[in-house]
């Protein structure tokens, strides 16, 4: 049984982190590797490039959340995603403690991205020379790129 307060909200002796998903979508053709980024339309980091992603809804499976966020922010659907790893260092999100589960995919046919939801823009950028990214997304991108290059995945 989950403890609830008099208002019906969950209550615990300590705060719980939020859970989000981020998606690192690579397009790899020959020696060029691009990554799909969105420009944030809202704070925090309004106007800064970021990986597509967002908060997991209550009772939503993680992979469903990743697919939903990718479709909402970029218009891209039907991509097979693989769970990469989790990122949860305190301070990675100025809104509070947030743990993000990151999903990746490697494509060889760059789909057209159309910004939606809370994304002002959606564009492909060089994965090796990305613009300045929001949150800890540069760290996430570099680790995902390193894994892709080491495995020689296609």
Half-sphere CA count of 32, side-chain side, radius 13 A: 8
Q: Are strands 18-29 and 98-107 parallel, antiparallel or unpaired?
A: parallel
Nearest to 63 by CA among 80, 88, 50, 76: 80
Is 121 part of the annotated catalytic residue set? Answer: yes
Q: Are strands 53-55 and 49-50 parallel, antiparallel or unpaired?
A: unpaired
User: Catalytic residue among 63, 69, 121, 150, which?
Assistant: 121
Rounded Cα gap, residues 154 and 151, in angstroms: 9
User: Which residues carry out catalysis?
Assistant: 121
């Amino acid at each position: 049984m989950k403890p609830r307060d008099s208002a019906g909200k969950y209550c615990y002796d300590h705060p719980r982190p939020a859970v989000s998903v981020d998606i690192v979508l690579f397009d790899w053709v020959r020696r060029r590797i691009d990554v799909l980024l969105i420009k944030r339309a809202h704070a925090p980091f309004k106007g800064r490039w970021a990986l597509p992603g967002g908060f997991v809804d209550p009772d939503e499976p993680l992979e469903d959340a990743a697919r939903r966020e990718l479709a909402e922010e970029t218009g891209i659907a039907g991509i097979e995603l693989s769970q990469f790893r989790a990122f949860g260092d305190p301070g990675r999100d100025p809104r509070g403690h947030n743990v993000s589960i990151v999903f990746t995919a490697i494509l060889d046919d760059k789909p057209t991205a159309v910004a939606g939801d809370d994304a002002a823009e959606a564009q492909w950028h060089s994965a090796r020379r990305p613009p300045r990214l929001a949150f800890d997304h540069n760290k996430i991108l570099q680790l995902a790129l390193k894994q892709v290059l080491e495995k020689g995945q296609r």
